[in-house]
Structure 1
């Protein structure tokens, strides 16, 4: 794990300063962070749904076939990349109402680093469980929101009051984008890819 990622969880204020410097020096510095960390939830979900499975009824375990799990993981990975790109574009568009004039790469980079808690939370996919997923995703949402509100003024070089207002707008749009993308992914998963389930009786 790189130093900026560790700092996002230990010294977030300093982390955003370091990340901004890296993005100014290397406009696509965020790509490695995004492309590699997005593999965490996709890979863990593949392992969890094929080797561990989940229970819908007593004494029964449900798993996905390898082919279906690969489809789901690939769909999740592409959805994450696409969602971050869309969110970055919205941040760039909304910045026109404020003094900041970030580039599209800087905005996508900011979205990618802000989503880091969700990438790490993807480890929970190793053990498919509704309640575990709810708890982990809720925790990731809270910390990601925290990173957004303390990071946007620093990353965009905005005044604190202006940055907080911008962050509130980004949060609202981000929630809408997240819900829209997840619903689209679920509909595609069930109606286009047609998953194959493997059921096994325990005992």
Structure 2
């Protein structure tokens, strides 16, 4: 959390320099960033699905029971943290192909900061809406990609051309990991946890 989050959105290049310096001084500094910011989508989704709800049909609002919403949000939180760790592990594994030799801590930390836009996008969970979710996630995906491509060469101390090639590989693997983990989460949610829906007329 010591590297200013705002700087990732206003001065991303300098933010990566600060994050790298912080990592060299405190190798596990990213843990607070990951564990705290991953709470944003989970907590917001809990309130959005239990108190606001969403509409699947006219004049009807659907909500989750408190128990089901809590299960969903705990599952989402664990999925986010696990996904970042897995992506970090893949970054470490792929780095063998390039000159950089980052530690696993560095790779997980880099992944945690790269997906920060998704953490912030979790605020949209306060108001469950399909179109809002699509718009916010699309914006988060675009900015995370931008952070990845400008950040990897800087953070890993790689030459620009090599860093861009490495970033392209990470992007492809990250997308695969994201889809796999999300699909697994959805299957567990529907087939194991059996959500309980509460339906009520609007007004």
Describe the SS at the equivalent of 2:22.
Answer: helix
Indicate the residue corresponding to 2:145 in structure 1. Answer: 145
The answer on whether the counterparts of 2:88 and 2:111 sit within 8 Å (CA) in structure 1 is yes
Whole-angstrom CA distance in 1 between matches of 2:24 and 2:172: 27
SS of the residue 2:195 aligns to? coil
**TM-score scaled to structure 2, two decimals?**
0.99
SS in 2 for 1:199: strand
2:102 is aligned with 1:102 = yes
Q: How far is 1:4 from its partner?
A: 2.4
Superposed, 1:109-120 pairs within 5 Å as: 109-120=109-120
Unpaired segments ≥5 residues, structure 1: none
Who is 1:121 aligned against?
Answer: 121
Work out the CA distance in 1 between the residues paired with 2:4 and 2:122. 19
**Partner-residue secondary structure (3-state), 1:193:** coil
User: 2:124 and 2:174 mapped to 1: Cα distance?
Assistant: 22
Question: What residue number does 2:173 align with?
Answer: 173
How many residues align structurally? Answer: 203
Please name the residue that 2:50 is paired with: 50
The match for 1:82 is 82
Q: Distance in 2 between matches of 1:11 and 1:26?
A: 22
Q: In the alignment, what sits opposite 1:157?
A: 157
Instruction: Tell whether 2:29 aligns with 1:23.
Output: no
Question: Is 1:134 matched with 2:170?
Answer: no
Mapped to 1, the partners of 2:202 and 2:75 lie a distance apart of 30
Aligned residue for 1:158, secondary structure, equals: coil
State the Cα distance separating 1:202 from its structure 2 match: 1.6
CA RMSD of aligned residues (A): 0.8
Deviation, 1:2, is 5.4
Shift of 1:20: 0.5
Measured in 1, the distance between the counterparts of 2:3 and 2:103 equals: 24
Separation in 2, partners of 1:4, 1:91: 23
Q: TM-score, normalised on structure 1?
A: 0.99
Per the alignment, residue 13 of structure 1 pairs with 13
Gaps of 5+ in 2: none
Partners of 1:188 and 1:2 in 2: how far apart? 35
